[in-house]
Amino acid sequence: MIEFKSFNKLTEYSYDTADYELLDRFPNPNNSNGSVSIISPEFTMLCPVSGQPDFATIRVNYIPRKWCLEAKSWKLYLISYRQYGISYESCVKKIMNDLVKLLDPEYLHVKAEFAPRGGISFHPELYYGEKPQKT
């Protein structure tokens, strides 16, 4: 556990579990049909079988209702996976479920583009809600 004091708030960093409690949100300032895209190219986690690190780019696209994802909390949340053993597919499912729980978005797409291991790349993705058609 590493502690970091930022102004008047103590932030505790835990690297052995994927911690939903690190996520935070703020009210959607737009109240429109716009979308938010997030690309996180330095995601790491552990293979639950071998214990070897896996590296991925996490791509999130969502259409907010009332809430938007706070950037620092997203970074801390992703870092919390660093020493966590989880399969590719379970990882994407957990991220999807955590973001749906936090944001209650109209639409959400989560895709993980894992770096090749043994010459094979995995890119699991999940969708929540129905993406509006462009007019």
- The residues annotated with a catalytic role in the active site are 47, 54
Report residue 78: phi and psi, to 5°. Answer: -65, -40
Q: How many of the other CB atoms lie within 10 Å of CB of 75?
A: 13
What does the alpha-carbon distance between residue 72 and residue 6 come to, in Å, rounded to a whole number? 12
Nearest to 36 by CA among 46, 48, 47, 28: 28
